[in-house]
A = this chain, B = another copy of it.
Amino acid sequence: MVQQQELDRAFAALADETRRGILTRLGDGPATITELAMPAGMTLTGIRKHVDVLEVAGLVTTEKVGRVRQCRLGTERLDDAMAWISFYQRLWERRLDGLEAYFTLHDGTHDPNHEEHDTKHETKGTES
């Protein structure tokens, strides 16, 4: 099962523009701390902290070769993140289906009880 704490870390790691930028950058291939720091206009120490967050989250792996640290995209937390992402996709799609059907019928005013009976408790199990 997916450890909730690891999911926390993965999503939290994504919740920062600088770190998303690092991931985007690493999508083009490995980079060193210095190379990552330059476009970000940030201290080496600052970037190192971000990379560390990404590494702990399992989204990036690093390796010190000589005096530089090579950073690249990691795969550890990939499956977990994917699973949850598609879980939420299904959640939202289901919600959208309900909404669409609902608004087709009621338009402006609304009744909160339109989807509370049939699919109840079937998605709960997927998180454990």
Contacts and interface: CB of A to CB of B under 8 A. Distances in A.
* Consensus secondary structure, chain A interface: helix
Taking the full assembly, how many copies of this chain does it contain?
Answer: 2
B116 A28 contact: yes
Contacts of A14: 11, 15, 88
A73 interface: yes
Interface of A: 4-5, 7-12, 14-17, 20-21, 23-24, 26-30, 65, 70, 72-73, 75, 78, 82, 84-85, 88-89, 91-92, 94-96, 99, 112-113, 115-117, 119-121, 123-124, 127
Report, nearest first, the 9 A-B pairs whose CB atoms are least far apart: A11-B15, A29-B116, A12-B15, A27-B91, A11-B14, A73-B95, A4-B17, A30-B112, A28-B120
Nearest to A114: B29
B8 A120 contact: no
Contacts of A73: 91-92, 95
A127 B20 contact: yes
A96 B75 contact: yes
Contacts of A26: 95
